[in-house]
Chains A and B, each alone.
Chain A
Amino acid sequence: SAVISQKPSRDICQRGTSLTIQCQVDSQVTMMFWYRQQPGQSLTLIATANQGSEATYESGFVIDKFPISRPNLTFSTLTVSNMSPEDSSIYLCSSTDGGRNEQFFGPGTRLTVL
Chain B
Amino acid sequence: AQSVSQHNHHVILSEAASLELGCNYSYGGTVNLFWYVQYPGQHLQLLLKYFSGDPLVKGIKGFEAEFIKSKFSFNLRKPSVQWSDTAEYFCAVRFGDDKIIFGKGTRLHILP
Contact = CB atoms under 8 A, between A and B. Distances in A.
Interface of A: 31, 33, 35, 41-45, 48, 58, 92, 94, 96, 100-103, 105-108
B71 interface: no
Query: Chain B interface residue count: which class?
Result: 10 to 19
Contact of A107 (B32, B43, B90): B43
A35 B99 CA distance: 11
Given A103-B34, A105-B44, A42 B49 contact: no
A33 B104 contact: no
B101 interface: yes
B90 A43 contact: yes
A107 B46 CA distance: 14
B99 A102 contact: no
Contacts of B105: 41-42
Contacts, number: 42
A42 B90 contact: yes
A45 B98 contact: no
Nearest to B34: A103
Contact of A45 (B44, B90, B100): B100
Given A42-B105, A45-B99, A48-B98, A102 B46 contact: yes
B49 A105 contact: no
26 contacts: A31-B98, A33-B99, A35-B102, A41-B104, A41-B105, A42-B90, A42-B102, A42-B105, A44-B102, A45-B100, A48-B99, A58-B99, A94-B100, A100-B32, A100-B98, A101-B51, A102-B46, A102-B49, A103-B34, A103-B46, A103-B92, A103-B94, A103-B100, A105-B43, A106-B43, A108-B43
